[in-house]
Amino acid sequence: MSEYVLLYRNTPEATEAAIGRPENARASLAKWRAWMDEMAANGQLKSAGLPLEQPGCVVRAKRAVTDGPYAETKEVVGGFSVIEARDLAHAAQIASGCPILQGGGSVEVRPVRTLPG
């Protein structure tokens, strides 16, 4: 089993729609808890992670080269979790149950690199 980070991305507008009103926040939180509980019961959840506040910033060198799986600028990372999965396909399958997808958000799945030593 390998570790994967799930990065939860959404637009500020979709986030506000999901949690801006108390009844929406309760319903959203219930879906997230059920999904996290399912992963924990299956032995897949290493860390529930944390939600992140908005806004944030990105620091780049003056002549940065961007390459890789980066979200569109209109999306922000709203939180993360760490899971265990057999491979990337299995991690993506686990991520496909994320409640953020119901509101038009996305989940970026990234393998955690093992450092030598």
pLDDT tens readout for residues 39-48? 999 999 999 9
Q: Which of 2-6, 40-44, 55-59, 88-92 is least confident?
A: 55-59
pLDDT tens readout for residues 102-116? 999 999 999 999 889
The whole model's pTM is what? 0.84
Residue-level pLDDT at 40 = 98
pLDDT tens readout for residues 65-86? 444 455 555 788 999 999 999 9
Domains of the chain: 2-111 (3.30.70.1060)
pLDDT above 90: percentage of residues in the chain? 67
Residue-level pLDDT at 63 = 58
Q: How far is CA 59 from CA 8, 37, 51, 72, 102, in A?
A: 20, 35, 20, 16, 31
Contacts of 74 (CB under 8 A, 6+ apart): 11
Whole-angstrom distance, CA of residue 109 vs CA of residue 80: 10
Inter-helix orientation angle 12-19/22-41, to 10° = 100
Whole-angstrom distance, CA of residue 75 vs CA of residue 106: 9
Which amino acid appears at position 6 of this protein? Answer: L
